[in-house]
């Protein structure tokens, strides 16, 4: 037997070492999720164990070759893979290729590396490479991407600082809102935005929350780069790492300046009158309650005033709402300037103001009312208009005139109404007897709205006669109102109410049309021609298209213009003589006559009278009444007649009740007369009969 021994320790050891290093390699591949492959020139493809893991196939069932391998690749990425393999094979080092595979129905992202290996002679030997599953990284990367996009595009400003408050990140909204670019602020402290308007407590509160590791939210008034201020709603949260350690602060901020402004506007709307900036009804109520509780406790009195501007509606109607608004603002300013800080003045809408004066008695209230009358009545210039807004003031005193807001304001209103009735531009204290009349006024104002449509209005006609021969030369149309419950209501009572409420326009037009039609009918039926005199209210006179409307009615009815005579009051003409002259000129041009009613009661100046294109002066009945006894009235009437005749203007005396009056007037050369002595105002058919017998 021959034996041969060989010491294979070396080989054994080498093999063990080899096995061990293979084991380590495998483990390393497994841990790193990196697989390796080789591909020799004969076309044989070899995979490491980890490769099978990565591709999700089993070594004993998967027939590993290039074709099968390619089939594992996502179809879209196959061309890139083939190009990449070709590049590797040609000796280029194309670098990593990212590609997708389908693994058990889900897409995985892989990164491949590969290279051509050369043999000792430098000839191509085989290709080798690795593949790594990078799906997780890819996903993290993608979500980071999405996150940073979201941050960038967030409609909110986002600021990230380190724990010392140094800015590490700002998004583009921050830059847009503040005007600071990232370069302006990175590394800086957000303090650069402080405006000084945020309270110290806010910052103290914020830092105590944050240093405790808790989020804070609140509002900061900050500055933009250009120095302008804005308010932002801010939410700051500590950012914790996985370890729980706070590493950053994240601030999410929203510019709420607009919202704030809107809120303030709402607040103003809720509590203040938009036009004048005065407290509105709800704020007035609150202030009154407060004043009342003080008065109750201290036993002091308090005053409530109602203020209404006289004939404000005229200004609005004739000069337009813009001027009216300016007037109201000016009045509001003057009222406020005259009052003490503790007083409240509020606008109730329209031209009505209400004032609460705490701690004041009747004497004090009278004193304040006098000052208010003076302050408000001062004239002022709006554009080319010289305006005067005289106020009427009604006063009620707590506790005598009422113990609550409702009663006091009702009584102040009644007192104000009395001022209006007694000639305006004054003040009155409430007295119990006022209550009844104010109730009636309100009742009338309300009923008047329906008077026309319910046919409660009709006309009387009063004859006007030539003094020489007693011939009928005209008729004055006088409005009548028969209310179903209240009975006959005098135009002297309801016309001012219709003027205040604006119904006069409609009613006046109805009067005009009815009267003109009536005259046309009479003339058509053979009555001698005469003039129809129609009273025109100041409100109508100032109506913008008044002349067109009057002409329209005449043309519609078919009455020649010279048969209409409009009676204007002296006040209408003298209030703004230049404007009145312009209107009168135009009326005159269209052939319509005019007379001045109630002449002598106003303040006509002779120089203007010359320019008024009126054909008649109507001497007021208050002078006529006493001409037989009162030397002064005699003198006045004589003077009027002489002056008129020297100006070429005719005269008519109204309210002639006696033959004595008639005799005097005839002697003085008055042209016409009208009054009970001849006839009371008559219904149309009565008038017709009167005229036929005349």
Residue numbers at the binding site for ligand C2E (CB under 6 A): 462, 477-479, 490-492, 495, 508, 511, 535, 537, 567, 597-598, 621, 654-657, 675-676, 681
Taking the alpha carbons at both ends of the chain, their separation in whole angstroms is 184
User: At closest approach, how far in Å is the CB of 677 from Mg ion?
Assistant: 16
Q: Where are the alpha helices (DSSP H) in 179-320?
A: 182-185, 200-211, 257-271, 281-298, 312-319
User: How long is the chain?
Assistant: 694
- 656 close to 467: Cβ distance less than 8 angstroms: no
What is the DSSP-derived secondary structure letter of residue 193? G
The reply to whether 133 sits near Mg ion by the rule CB under 5 A is no
Binds Mg ion by CB under 5 A, chosen from 314, 318, 535, 595: 535
Quick one: 410 or 650, whose CB is closer to ligand C2E? Answer: 650
**Nearest residue to 399 (alpha-carbon basis) of 298, 331, 483, 489:** 298
Contact range with Mg ion by CB under 5 A, out of 158-166, 479-487, 528-536, 660-668: 528-536
Question: Which runs of E-coded beta strand occur in 467-544?
Answer: 472-483, 487-489, 531-535
- Residue 154 corresponds to which tokens in the numbers above? 């967030």
Rounded Cα gap, residues 606 and 573, in angstroms: 12
Write the Ramachandran bin of 95: left for phi over 0, alpha for psi from -120 to 50, otherwise beta: left
Residue 405 CB, nearest approach to ligand C2E (Å): 37
Closer residue to ligand C2E (CB): 532 or 656 = 656
Nearer to ligand C2E, 365 or 624 (CB): 624
Cβ proximity to ligand C2E, 172 vs 615, nearer residue: 615
Query: Omega of the bond prior to 157 within 30 degrees of 0, cis?
Result: no
Question: Cα separation of 262 and 426, whole Å?
Answer: 41
491 binds, among Mg ion, ligand C2E, none (CB under 5 to 8 A by kind): ligand C2E
Residue 110 vs 489, nearer CB to ligand C2E: 489
Site for Mg ion in 573-602 (CB under 5 A): 597-598
In terms of CB distance, is 35 or 681 closer to ligand C2E?
A: 681
Token digits of residue 619: 């001497």
| Other beta carbons less than 10 A from residue 489's beta carbon | 19
**Residue 320: CB partners within 8 Å, gap ≥ 6?**
none
- Rounded to whole angstroms, the Cα distance separating 95 from 114 reads 7
Least distance to Mg ion, CB of residue 601, Å: 9
Find the DSSP H helices in 117-165. Answer: 135-153
567 binds Mg ion (CB under 5 A): yes
Tokens 């308010």 belong to which residue? 231
Give the residue with the Cβ less far from ligand C2E, 167 or 511: 511
Alpha-carbon gap, residue 663 to 187, rounded angstroms: 108
Q: Please, what is the minimum distance in Å from the beta carbon of residue 594 to Mg ion?
A: 12
Cα dihedral 27/33/34/39 (nearest 10): 90
Cα dihedral 351, 355, 361, 366 sign: negative
Residue carrying the six token digits 């991407």: 145
Asked if residues 524 and 516 have their Cβ atoms less than 8 Å apart, the reply is: no
Please state whether the peptide bond connecting residue 399 to the residue before it is cis, i.e. omega within 30 degrees of 0.
yes
173 counts as binding Mg ion under rule CB under 5 A: no
Between 36 and 503, whose beta carbon lies closer to ligand C2E?
503
The least CB distance from residue 554 to Mg ion, in Å, is 19
Which residue number, 401 or 654, has a Cβ lying nearer to ligand C2E?
654
Q: Which stretch binds Mg ion (CB under 5 A): 67-75, 321-329, 530-538, 632-640?
A: 530-538
Helix ranges, 422-501 (H): 434-451, 491-501
Nearest-approach distance from CB 599 to Mg ion, in angstroms: 8
In contact, 278 and 347? CB cutoff 8 Å: yes
Q: Smaller CB distance to Mg ion: residue 85 or 550? A: 550
Q: To the nearest whole angstrom, how small is the minimum distance from the Cβ of residue 621 to Mg ion? A: 6
Task: Give least dist CB 550 to Mg ion, A.
Answer: 16
Q: Which residues contact 324 (CB under 8 A, 6 or more apart)?
A: 312, 315, 316
User: CA angle 182-187-193, nearest 5°?
Assistant: 70
> Among Mg ion, ligand C2E, none, what does residue 479 contact (CB within 5–8 Å per kind)?
ligand C2E
Rounded to a whole number of angstroms, the minimum distance from the CB of residue 287 to ligand C2E is 41
Query: Can you read off the two tokens belonging to residue 375?
Result: 């302050």
Nearest 5°: CA angle at 661, between 570 and 469? 90
The smaller minimum CB distance to ligand C2E, of residues 161 and 569, is found at: 569
CB of 536 to Mg ion, least distance (A): 9
* Closer CB to Mg ion, 351 or 567, in the complex: 567
Bridge partners of 479? 459
CB closer to ligand C2E, 255 vs 597: 597
The crossing angle, in degrees rounded to 10, of helices 504-524 and 491-501 is 130
Shortest CB 597 distance to Mg ion, Å: 4
Give the nearer residue to ligand C2E in terms of CB position, either 27 or 490.
490
Contact indicator for 354, 307 with CB cutoff of 8 Å = yes
Nearer to ligand C2E, 49 or 456 (CB): 456
In whole angstroms, how close is the CB of 530 to Mg ion at the nearest point? Answer: 16
Beta strand extents in 551-682 (DSSP E only): 564-569, 593-599, 616-619, 650-654, 672-674
Shortest reach from residue 640's CB to Mg ion, in Å: 13
Distance CA 12, CA 151 (A): 62
- In angstroms, the CA 308 to CA 419 distance is 10
Between β-strands 650-654 and 672-674, what pairing exists: parallel, antiparallel or unpaired? parallel
Q: Which residues bind Mg ion (CB under 5 A)?
A: 535, 567, 597-598
């Amino acid at each position: 037997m021959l034996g041969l021994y060989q010491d294979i320790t070396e080989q054994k050891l080498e093999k063990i070492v080899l096995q061990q290093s293979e084991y380590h390699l495998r483990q390393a591949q497994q841990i790193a999720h990196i697989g390796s492959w080789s591909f020799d020139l004969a076309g044989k493809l070899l995979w490491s164990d980890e490769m099978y893991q990565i591709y999700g196939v089993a070594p004993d069932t998967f027939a590993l070759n290039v074709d099968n391998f390619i089939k594992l690749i996502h179809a879209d990425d196959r061309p890139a893979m083939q190009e990449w393999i070709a590049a590797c094979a040609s000796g280029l080092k194309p670098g990593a290729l990212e590609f997708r595979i389908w693994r058990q129905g889900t897409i995985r992202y892989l990164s491949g590396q590969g290279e051509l290996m050369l043999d000792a002679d430098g000839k191509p030997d085989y290709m080798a490479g690795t593949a790594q599953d990078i799906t997780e990284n890819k996903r993290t990367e993608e979500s980071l991407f999405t996150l940073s996009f979201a941050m960038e595009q967030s409609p909110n400003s986002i600021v990230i600082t380190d724990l010392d408050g140094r800015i590490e990140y700002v998004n583009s909204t921050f830059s847009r809102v503040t005007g600071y670019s990232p370069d302006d602020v990175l590394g800086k402290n957000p303090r650069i935005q402080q405006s000084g308007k945020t309270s110290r407590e806010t910052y103290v509160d914020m830092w105590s929350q944050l240093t405790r590791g808790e989020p804070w939210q609140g509002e900061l008034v900050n500055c933009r780069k250009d120095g302008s201020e804005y308010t932002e709603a801010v939410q700051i949260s500590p950012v914790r790492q996985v370890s729980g350690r706070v590493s950053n602060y994240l601030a999410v901020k929203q510019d709420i300046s607009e919202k704030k402004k809107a809120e303030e506007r709402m607040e103003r709307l809720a509590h203040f009158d938009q036009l004048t900036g005065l407290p509105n009804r709800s704020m007035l109520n609150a202030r009154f309650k407060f004043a009342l509780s003080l008065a109750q406790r201290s036993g002091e009195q308090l005053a409530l005033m109602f203020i209404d501007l006289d004939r404000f509606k005229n200004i609005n109607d004739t000069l337009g709402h813009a001027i009216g608004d300016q007037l109201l603002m000016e009045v509001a300013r003057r009222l406020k300037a005259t009052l003490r800080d503790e007083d409240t003045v509020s606008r109730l809408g329209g031209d009505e103001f209400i004032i609460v004066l705490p701690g004041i008695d009747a004497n004090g209230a009278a004193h304040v009312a006098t000052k208010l009358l003076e302050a408000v009545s001062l004239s002022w210039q709006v554009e080319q208009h010289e305006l005067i807004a005289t106020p009427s003031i009604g006063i009620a005193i707590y506790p005598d005139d009422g113990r609550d807001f409702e009663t006091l304001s009702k009584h102040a209103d009644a007192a104000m109404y009395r001022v209006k009735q007694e000639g305006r531009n004054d003040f009155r204290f409430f007295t119990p007897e006022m209550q009844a009349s104010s109730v009636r006024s309100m009742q009338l104002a309300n009923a008047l709205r329906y008077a026309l449509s319910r046919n409660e209005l009709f006309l009387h006609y009063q004859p006007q006669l030539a003094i020489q021969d007693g011939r009928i030369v005209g008729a004055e149309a006088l409005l009548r109102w028969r209310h179903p419950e209240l009975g006959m209501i005098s135009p002297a009572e309801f016309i001012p109410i219709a003027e205040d409420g604006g119904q006069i326009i409609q009613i006046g037009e109805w009067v005009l049309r009815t009267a003109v039609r009536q005259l046309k009918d009479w003339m058509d039926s053979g009555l001698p021609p005469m003039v129809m005199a129609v009273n025109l209210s100041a409100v109508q006179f100032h109506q913008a298209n008044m002349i067109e409307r009057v002409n329209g009615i005449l043309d519609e009815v078919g009455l020649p213009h010279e048969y209409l005579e409009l009676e204007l009051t002296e006040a209408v003409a003298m209030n703004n003589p230049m404007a009145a002259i312009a209107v009168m000129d135009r009326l005159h041009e269209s052939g319509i006559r005019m007379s001045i009613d109630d002449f002598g009661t106003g303040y006509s100046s002779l120089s203007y009278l010359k320019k008024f294109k009126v054909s008649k002066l109507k001497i007021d009945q208050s002078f006529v009444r006493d001409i037989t006894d009162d030397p002064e009235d005699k003198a006045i009437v004589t003077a009027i007649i002489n002056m008129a005749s020297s100006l070429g203007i005719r005269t008519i005396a109204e309210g002639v009740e006696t033959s004595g009056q008639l005799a005097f007037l005839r002697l003085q050369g008055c042209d016409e007369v009208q009054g009970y002595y001849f006839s009371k105002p008559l219904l149309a058919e009565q008038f017709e009969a009167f005229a036929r017998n005349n």
